[in-house]
């Protein structure tokens, strides 16, 4: 029968693995959201009022943004696209040239 320390170690490994999966999913969400705007990371971070290094860490999965931050960012992007304040296609066309 395994001792308490090995059970605790296994639980910590599982928790760590779950946190890694959550960070990865969250980073993919932020990258997708940013790409919807056609902005690069620096532009998006400035537009959202988030420090560049923080945005970089979130997108690379180094750290996970709080869920409410992603929800607010998604809300802002959606509203700005609907209002026409983000001209996604024009911005993407500039990058493709």
Give the chain's domains with CATH numbers.
4-96 (1.10.260)
Q: Indicate the length of the chain as a whole number.
A: 97
pLDDT at 43: 96
Q: How far apart are CA 47 and CA 7, in angstroms?
A: 46
> Residue-wise pLDDT tens for the chain (97 aa)?
555 666 566 556 555 555 565 667 778 888 999 999 999 999 999 999 999 999 999 999 999 999 999 999 999 999 999 999 987 644 444 444 4
Q: Are 22 and 66 in contact (CB under 8 A)?
A: no
pLDDT recorded at residue 15: 52
Residue with tokens 């990371």: 41
Q: In the prediction, which pLDDT does 31 show?
A: 92
Q: CB–CB of 53/44 below 8 Å?
A: no
Predicted model pTM:
0.67
């Amino acid at each position: 029968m395994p001792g308490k320390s090995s059970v605790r170690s296994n639980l910590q490994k599982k928790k760590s693995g779950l946190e890694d999966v959550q960070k990865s999913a969250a980073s993919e969400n932020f990258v997708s959201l940013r790409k919807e705007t056609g902005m690069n990371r620096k532009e998006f971070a400035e537009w959202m009022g988030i420090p560049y290094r923080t945005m970089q860490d979130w997108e690379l999965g180094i750290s996970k943004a709080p869920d409410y931050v992603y929800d607010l960012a998604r809300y802002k992007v959606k509203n700005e696209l609907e209002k026409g304040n983000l001209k996604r296609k024009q911005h993407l066309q500039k990058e493709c040239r």
